[in-house]
Each structure stands twice: as structure tokens, then as C-alpha cells.
Amino acid sequence: MRIVDSAAAQRTILRRPAWDEIEISDNLADSIAAIFGERIGADEAVRRILRDVRERGDAALREWAERIDEVALPNIMVSPEQVRRAYDAVEPPVVDALKLAARRIEAFHRRQPALSWIHNDAEGTLGQLVRPIERVGVYSPGGTAPLPSSLLMTVVPARVAGVSYVSVITPPQRGTGLPHPAMLVAADLAGVDVVYVSGGAQAIAALAFGTETVERVDKICGPGNLFTTLAKRQVFGMVGIDGLPGPTETVVIADSSADPELAAADLLAQAEHDVLASAIMFTPDAALAERVQQAVMRQLEELSRAEVIAGSLARGSGIVVTADLNECFELANAYAPEHLCLLVKDPWSYLGAVRNAGGVFIGERSFEVLGDYVAGPSHVMPTGGTARFASPVNVGDFVKIISVVGLNEEALQKIGPAAETLARTEGLTAHAAAVRRRL
């Protein structure tokens, strides 16, 4: 794991490519060429899949499952009996852990207000109605590496918001044509209405357009890979989306009080996700940087996903030595990480310095892995610098606001002339006439 100064970091590990700058690997390019019979970009591949599913529905879902995932889909919808049988295939401690996570996620999100209000005065009434989105579809990764926690982190807030219909679509396991049993258990615990089996861009297409089996939804949520993210970007406008999640990322800010072994463990936990994940530490203590670097290399030898972690550490990860803690926070706010971990003395005193982050984890006993599973807030957080303007998945993602306007004659006489003036300024004479006829 490299150690760099802040200037070098700005040119390397802190620079993220834009969506139109993403370069796919040679292996992925070869795979796309093999599937489509010609060399095309990922965006074009997604566009063709979306069009095919829109035109051919279930038949296209089955064909793309065989061509891309090499899986036959006997059924696109999971039956209630298959969900019940999934409990027999999941160890009881896992079921108990999922139940604990679901309870804590629900309790946290029930504290988030989303309130209607009506205000009456002499001019009449103004207000807002908060209404849940009616139909939400959740994409939940789960082919080679099932992520039941991500399912809970997305579905439970939707249920708390009052969404009346929530479906989940998730990839099948090879050899079974069904999702991983833990995914089905999580879906049942979260109160999902129906589970569909499909992965990739074709799954997003099914939710956006509907098929003979898959019901169309109003909004699509949930993390995924490059292809599902590109698909969400292309269907946005026809349906709502929660965002465009990119590779996961963590920034650790540490000072001389930090335990280098724990800092290293947190960085490795982040790098374990994917070779595209970013695990970054800012510290003004050069000696601590070296101790953490050594701890990372030592602990890496004990981990099962060492090859993935090594790829992440070599690509977009590193330790940045700064002038002081103030520079640490300046760099962190500019980077706007998904996760920001404060391993500093008296971390609460620095909370006010945090402006941009998906989530902030305060102290060595409040580390990111707890947030990934059981702390309570959704772990589906903004990535790629979007924490500058976006938020973690929350109740607000699943409601919409309807403005209420009920003004009377007194209000008309008071504010109507201003409305007429503005309408004429904009050249909208019909607008102005609608006001004038009432005055």
C-alpha cells in the first residue's frame, strides 16, 4: 500500500474518472465481443439489452441469462414455497443476524420525518402532502456473492415510508436458477411482495418496462455493477432511480492516537469488496503511516480474498501524509467519500468539520463494518464524490411531495397583480389574462 503526500494524492488516488472516462478491462471487452459478436462499448451493450427486453419481455430475460450468466431460468418469479424452503438452507445464526439487522434498520428509519402539513391564515391555505411512491423495484446483487444486507438496507426504508408494493430482482445462482437462499430469507424478513430472478442490465430493463411476468415499477433502487448502473442511467426519466452507485470507498482520518492495527483492518475490509474499491487514509503522522502500511501487508496474508484486496490497494488506495488534521478534513471534504472514519483523539470534536460524506463513523468502536450490517442507517450510500449533493438511501427516497394551494379572494387581490406583471414580463399573455379576468 503506497504512501504519498497530498500533492501526489491529488494526481493519483484522489482522482476519479467520470462516467464517460471509465475504461473497461481487456477481459471484459473480450466478453462483450463474444456475447454480441462485435466489439462495442459497455454503454452500447446495455442499450441493446434494454431495447431487447422492452420488445420481447420474458423471452429476452431468459435468453440474456443464458448468454451472459450461463444460467437457465425455469421461472422468473420465485414462488412462496421456494421462499419458505430457503429457511432450511440458511444457518439459524444467519437468520438471527438478518432479523437483528432488519429490526435496527427499521428502528433507525422510523425516526426520519416525512410529514404532511397544512397552514391556514387570512389568505387561505398552503401546505404539502407527503405520499409514498406506489411501486418500487429493488435490484439486489447476489449471484456469485450474495448480499442480503443490501436488500435489507434498501427494502426496509421503503416499507417504513409506506410503499405499498416492493419487488426485488436478484441474479440466480449457477446450477439452480434461483437466488441464494439467504437473499430469499432477507426478502421475506423485509416484507417484499415478490422476488424475481434476473441480473444485470436486463433486470433493470424488466423493472423499468415490465414484462409478461415482471411488473413495471415507478422507481428502481439498489446498488449493482457497471452494467446495472449504466442501465439505471439510461432508463432514468421513464422511472425514478436512487442514484448511480460506483465502486465503494472509505476514507480514514487518523492521528497519533490511532491503533495502526485497527486502521489497517478497516482499510482491508474496504478493499475486500472489489478491485475497484478505494481504501484511503489521511494522517499528519508519517510514523503512523508507516506502521499502518506494515500492518496492512501483515494482515493481508491472513485473508481469503487477498488477491482482490491486493488489486484494490494497487489501484485507487493509499495513505496520504498531510501537514495537519485540518488538511485531512479539507481533502476529505473535497473527495466526498462514501464512508468517512474518524480514528482521532476526541473524534466528536471534529464532527462539525465534516461537510461531505455518505456516512461518518466516529471512533474505533464505531467502525464501518458495523454500518455495513447492523448499525441501522442504510449502507447504500453516495459514491464517486456524489456525497457533495446526495444522501444515503432513506425514507425520503420513497416518498414524494404534493404541494397544496388553496388561496382566497384576499390573497388574489394582494398577490395577483404581481403574478400578472411577471407573466407579461415573460411574454405569456394567456397567463396574464387568466389573472386579469379574476381581478
Q: Which sequence positions are flagged as catalytic?
A: 338-339
φ, ψ (nearest 5 deg) of residue 393? -55, 130
Pairing of strands 124-132, 399-407: antiparallel
State the SS3 of the chain: CCEEEHHHHHHCCCCCCCHHHCCCCHHHHHHHHHHHCCCCCHHHHHHHHHHHHHHHCHHHHHHHHHHHHCCCCCCCECCHHHHHHHHHHCCHHHHHHHHHHHHHHHHHHCCCCCCCEEEEECCEEEEEEEEECCEEEEECCCCCCCCHHHHHHHHHHHHHHCCCEEEEEECCCCCCCCCCHHHHHHHHHHCCCEEEECCHHHHHHHHHHCCCCCCCCCEEECCCCHHHHHHHHHHECCEEECCCCCCCEEEEEECCCCCHHHHHHHHHHHHCCCCCCEEEEEECCHHHHHHHHHHHHHHHCCCCCHHHHHHHHHHCCEEEECCCHHHHHHHHHHHCCCEEEEECCCHHHHHHHCCCCCEEEECCCCCHHHHHHCCCCCCCCCCCCHHHCCCCCCHHHHEEEEEEEEECHHHHHHHHHHHHHHHHHCCCHHHHHHHHCCC
Measured from the Cβ of residue 355, the count of other Cβ atoms closer than 10 Å reads 13
Per 3-state DSSP, the chain is made up of helix, strand and coil in percentages (nearest 5) of 50, 15, 35
Strand partners, 254: 343
Task: Give, for 231, the enclosing helix (H) or strand (E).
Answer: helix 226-235
List C-alpha distances in Å: 438 to 66, 394, 435: 65, 43, 5
